[in-house]
Structure 1
Amino acid sequence: MAVNASTLNPEQTLMFQEAASAHEVVARQFSANAERVTEAVKQIRAFDPAAVVTMARGSSDHAATYAKYLIETRTGTLTSSASPSVSSVYGAAQRLKGVLYIAISQSGKSPDLLAGVEKAKAAGALTLAFVNVEDSPLATLADLVIPLHAGPEKSVAATKSYIATLSAVLHLVSEWSGDELLGAALKQLPASLKQAWQCDWSKAVDALKSANNLFVIGRGMGFGIAQEAALKFKETCGLHAEAFSSAEVKHGPMAIVKSGFPVLMLSQQDETYSGFSDLIKEFQARDAQVLVASEKSYGNANLPVVHGAHPAIAPLLAVQSFYRMANALSVARGYNPDEPPHLRKVTETL
């Protein structure tokens, strides 16, 4: 519900306070989960999955998109997203023997995720849950559990629990893959998140205060973060946003980009960057209103980022900076980010 923005201080919203605590959440999580992750990796390696299947909804599904790219690029294991309705509505049996089946949930109560995990176990999969509520039905059901340790999240818009999911995925995959550079970067993540929270994206608030539509662009490990940003624009700012891969946006959607059309671009310095940079220049040539989170310089289009971040870490830092901006944008547009219209904290779908 829209509110009088003059009565709401952006720094006093639950969204602001919870997102600001992400670095503390991640530090606590790494400490609490050290032995649990090591044991989970031992069991995953012994199981030697032929493939990974993820199941989640909303922000958790955007974290699963990130997990897909991280798992596939670091372990070479094919990773795909399951449609919850196949299990919960259609009741179809699936051939999942030899599959690591990952369910991601804040509450651990959604009936469709529970149905998926039950059927996956019956089909011979090894099941793993990333879940915030440790005594939830999902945590009880799964073979392996990685708690998020995000604590209670009172704002309807998930922030710290989303980042906690990404960090938990990072922790697991860094040990599973044995990637020493990623493991070293992981240790710096809490401090880097604290630094990312201080990045000033107020330029984006000014640019988007009166916007009606925009694109959010990412690629590879940054695509799940683009999906998350588009969702937050919708639910907290009343702003229609669509997320696209920088490779896919040129296949049709580019046709509606005209002068002044806003585009938020979230990049990381990896193999995707060359094509991403070309796309930024193409948007600018169309006179789009481009905002770029990048270490490279694009003049007035740049939003500040933490420099030198590992490319698997950079998306987490970008979304942390984004959350602070989205909270401020919500208030600037006359909304209360803690009370999105027609939404509630826990959605139990079938």
Structure 2
Amino acid sequence: MTDHSDAIGTLMARETAQAPDRCAQQLARNADLMREAGARLRKLAPPFAATLARGSSGHAAAFAKVLLETRAGIPTLSHAPSIGSLYGATSTHFRDIPLIAISQSGRSPDLIAAARDAKRQGALLIAIVNDADAPLAQLADICIPIHAGPETSVAATKSFIATLVALTHLVAEWSGDKALLDALPAIGPTLKDALAADWTGAVPLLKDARAMLVLGRGLTLPIAGEAALKLKETSRVHAEAFSIAEVAHGPMTLIGEGDPVLAFGPVDVAREGLRDRLADFRARGAHVIAAGLDEDMAGATLALPGVAPDHPVLAAIAQVQSFYGLANALALARGLDPDQPPHLAKVTRTL
């Protein structure tokens, strides 16, 4: 596959552009590993699963929760790193429970300590990492490399997308979801189409924003969380993510004339009520920027172009691929360097 990403300006943009090919390659490279992991997890038949992550990886973990609970019927909890790393108090109920630890670097001390404490209690550690030689990977019972390649920009992009694809692949094999397994080979072309979808028309509506809401539901709520984080990191916008179903319970009162709202519309049953919610924000004078099905966009100030994959999981992943182009353009329009956000480092060393 030919990589033309070097012709693109920022590291963030170049690395974002690599995601489609990297994800297509990942599916092929991980095929046997995922089949074996899926069979092992089906045989284990755990009563619940858990995730362990922070930051962008934490939003990927939230995506895993939605996948596991809707596709595999497995309740999934978020295991706070400090429970194991600081308190050393991981529950004995973690014996034979899959703990999915997600870390691009695999080197964050608190995640490693928490993973080690969970293994002490008998958890089955699954590490989703970009570096298969990292300490977290070496600790794992099952290591799943995302094969994203080196990522230099501080803002994670291709590694986040590749992590979502790896989690989708794992859950599809674990659950035996034939529709999802059949849809996955289209991820490369789907992400290429999403990369080409130009969301920069939203830049004028966001260029001077100081605060905003970012909305999603179901599969797109973790995408909204990741988008809000990237807007903070790269554009210094106080963006907060909320569920489309929950935003009316308080946060909606913060929005008034000229305030921006960015909505990631799901394309499955979670889209129920989206059109009316967008219309409510528009009636308040908000600038409503939204992606989703055409029939849900009537209340939007700006309907963002999208792709039409055959599966709602791929549709959600495609939205974050398109969003990263907007995040990069917005940072530049605000006179900021998206590759080097202040006070941040590639590996977060929380104790």
Same fold (TM over 0.5): yes
Residue 65 in structure 1 maps to residue 66 in structure 2: no
- Cα deviation for residue 180 of structure 1 reads 1.5
- Cα deviation for residue 91 of structure 1 reads 1.8
- Cα deviation for residue 309 of structure 1 reads 3.8
Q: Distance in 2 between matches of 1:130 and 1:278?
A: 38
- Cα deviation for residue 103 of structure 1 reads 0.1
Cα deviations by residue, 1:151-208 (Å, 9 ceiling, x for unpaired): 1100000000000000000111111111111112111011000000011112211110
Q: Distance in 2 between matches of 1:342 and 1:178?
A: 43
The corresponding residue for 2:316 is 315
Q: Distance in 1 between matches of 2:59 and 2:309?
A: 24
Residue 167 in structure 1 maps to residue 168 in structure 2: no
The corresponding residue for 1:301 is 302
The corresponding residue for 2:4 is none
The corresponding residue for 1:155 is 153
Q: Distance in 2 between matches of 1:143 and 1:135?
A: 14
Question: Taking structure 1 as the reference length, what is the TM-score of the superposition?
Answer: 0.95
SS of 2:126 mapped into structure 1: strand
- Cα deviation for residue 142 of structure 1 reads 0.8
SS of 1:265 mapped into structure 2: strand
Question: Over aligned residue pairs, what C-alpha RMSD do you find?
Answer: 1.2
Q: Distance in 2 between matches of 1:300 and 1:263?
A: 10
Q: Which protein has greater RCO, CA pairs closer than 8 Å, 6+ apart?
A: 1
- Cα deviation for residue 308 of structure 1 reads 4.1
The corresponding residue for 1:190 is 188
- Cα deviation for residue 301 of structure 1 reads 2.2
Amino acid at match of 2:215: I
Q: Which of 30, 41, 48 is the matching residue for 1:51? A: 48
Amino acid at match of 2:190: S
SS of 1:12 mapped into structure 2: coil
Cα deviations by residue, 1:44-73 (Å, 9 ceiling, x for unpaired): 112111111100011000000000001100
SS of 1:272 mapped into structure 2: helix
- Of 164-173 and 280-289, more deviation after overlay is shown by 280-289
- Cα deviation for residue 277 of structure 1 reads 2.0
Q: Distance in 2 between matches of 1:183 and 1:93?
A: 34
- Cα deviation for residue 98 of structure 1 reads 3.3
- After the TM superposition, which parts of structure 1 deviate over 4 Å for at least 4 consecutive aligned residues? none
The corresponding residue for 2:350 is 349
Question: Taking structure 2 as the reference length, what is the TM-score of the superposition?
Answer: 0.95
SS of 1:214 mapped into structure 2: strand
Cα deviations by residue, 1:105-147 (Å, 9 ceiling, x for unpaired): 0111111111221121121221101011101111110100110
SS of 1:292 mapped into structure 2: strand
Task: Report 1:102-251 matches (<5 A).
Answer: 102-251=100-249
Q: Distance in 2 between matches of 1:293 and 1:149?
A: 28
Uncovered stretches (5+) of structure 2, i.e. residues with no partner: 1-6
SS of 1:21 mapped into structure 2: helix
Q: Distance in 2 between matches of 1:338 and 1:265?
A: 25
- Of 263-272 and 174-183, more deviation after overlay is shown by 174-183
The corresponding residue for 2:3 is none
Q: Distance in 2 between matches of 1:180 and 1:239?
A: 41
- Cα deviation for residue 97 of structure 1 reads 1.9
Contact 1:60–1:106, Cα closer than 8 Å, also in 2: yes
Identity %: 51
Amino acid at match of 2:44: F
Q: Distance in 2 between matches of 1:304 and 1:211?
A: 22
SS of 1:312 mapped into structure 2: helix
- Cα deviation for residue 302 of structure 1 reads 0.3
SS of 2:269 mapped into structure 1: coil
Uncovered stretches (5+) of structure 1, i.e. residues with no partner: 1-9
